[in-house]
C-alpha cells in the first residue's frame, strides 16, 4: 500500500459543539518518531466524527526525509506540540491530549507542564525507557554513522503501512532519549486522568515504560488497556477500533462540565 504524500500533512477538524453538549472540546494527537500524521489520521477522524475539535500537527523533520529529521531535536518537536496546544486551548472549553510512541511522550510532557489545562491524557505505546544496550553507544555512533535501519511499520495487520522512514536518524533519536530523565522526573506533576494503551507484543517500545508511568504520575484516575492483536503502531492495527471507541468515551468523561 502506497501512502499518498498528502496524508503526511498536518490536519485539523473543527469542533461541533452541537454533538458535545454545547461545549467545544478539543483533542490534540501527536504521531511518533520517524512517522507522520498518517499513523494517527484514522484516530483523529474518528474523534472528529464525535464532534471533537481535533488537531494533528506534523513534527519538524517528519514527512520529508530522515536526513531532514536528523537536523531537528526534542525541543523542536515539543515546540510544535506546545504551539498547537496553546491554540486549541484558546478555541475550546477543554482539551485532551494524546499520542503514539514519541507522540505519547510529547503529550505526556504537556500534561506535566500544564496540569491546569490538560483535561486528560491518552497514551499509545509511549517511550520513556528501553532495555536495548546499544543505545549506550549512541553518543559515539551518531557521529560515525548517520542512521540505523528503520523502525516503521511494526503492524500486525497485513497490507497496512504507516509511511514512516526506512532509516532511524541517530542524532535525532539520541536527542529524544536525552529528554527521558527529565520526563521521568516530572511524572509526579501529571494529575489528570490517564488512559494508557499498551500492545502485548511491541517490537519498537519494550515494557519498561509502563511501570515508570504507573508509579510516577500523581493521577488518581489511570486506566490501563492491553492490546493483544496489535504491534507498535496500534492506531493502524487490529485493535484500532477499540482504541478509537475507548478514547471517545474517555474524552467525554473527563471533559464533563
Contact (CB, 8 A) for 88 and 96: no
| Interacting residues of 14 by C-beta distance below 8 A, sequence separation 6+ | 53
Residue whose cell numbers read 504507516: 162
Residue whose cell numbers read 509511511: 163
The C-alpha atoms of residue 237 and residue 218 are separated, in whole angstroms, by: 31
Active site residues: 101, 202, 232
**In 3D, which of 52, 59, 55, 46 has the Cα closest to residue 85?**
55
| Interacting residues of 186 by C-beta distance below 8 A, sequence separation 6+ | 109, 112, 113
What is the CA angle 100-226-128, rounded to 5? 45
Report the residue count for the chain: 257
Residue whose cell numbers read 517511550: 127
Amino acid at each position: 500500500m502506497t501512502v499518498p504524500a498528502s496524508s503526511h500533512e498536518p490536519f485539523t477538524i473543527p469542533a461541533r459543539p452541537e454533538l458535545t453538549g454545547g461545549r467545544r472540546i478539543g483533542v490534540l494527537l501527536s504521531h511518533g518518531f520517524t512517522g507522520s500524521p498518517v499513523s494517527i489520521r484514522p484516530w483523529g477522524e474518528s474523534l472528529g466524527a464525535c464532534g471533537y475539535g481535533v488537531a494533528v500537527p506534523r513534527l519538524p523533520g517528519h514527512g520529508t526525509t530522515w536526513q531532514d529529521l536528523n537536523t531537528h531535536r526534542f525541543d523542536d518537536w515539543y515546540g510544535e506540540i506546545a504551539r498547537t496546544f496553546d491554540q486549541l486551548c484558546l478555541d475550546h472549553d477543554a482539551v485532551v491530549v494524546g499520542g503514539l510512541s514519541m507522540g505519547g511522550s510529547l503529550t505526556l510532557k504537556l500534561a506535566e507542564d500544564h496540569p491546569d489545562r490538560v483535561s486528560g491524557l491518552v497514551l499509545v505505546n509511549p517511550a520513556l525507557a528501553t532495555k536495548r544496550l546499544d543505545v549506550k553507544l549512541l553518543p559515539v555512533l551518531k557521529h560515525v554513522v548517520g542512521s540505523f535501519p528503520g523502525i516503521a511499520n511494526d503492524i500486525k495487520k497485513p497490507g497496512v503501512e504507516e509511511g514512516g522512514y526506512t532509516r532511524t536518524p541517530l542524532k535525532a533519536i539520541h536527542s529524544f532519549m536525552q529528554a527521558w530523565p527529565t520526563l521521568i522526573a516530572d511524572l509526579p506533576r501529571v494529575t489528570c486522568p490517564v488512559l494508557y494503551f499498551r500492545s502485548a507484543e511491541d517490537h519498537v517500545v519494550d515494557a519498561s515504560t509502563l511501570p515508570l508511568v504507573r508509579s510516577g504520575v500523581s493521577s488518581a484516575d489511570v486506566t490501563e488497556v492491553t492490546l493483544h492483536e496489535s504491534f507498535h503502531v496500534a492506531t493502524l492495527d487490529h485493535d484500532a477500533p477499540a482504541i478509537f471507541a475507548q478514547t471517545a468515551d474517555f474524552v467525554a468523561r473527563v471533559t464533563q462540565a
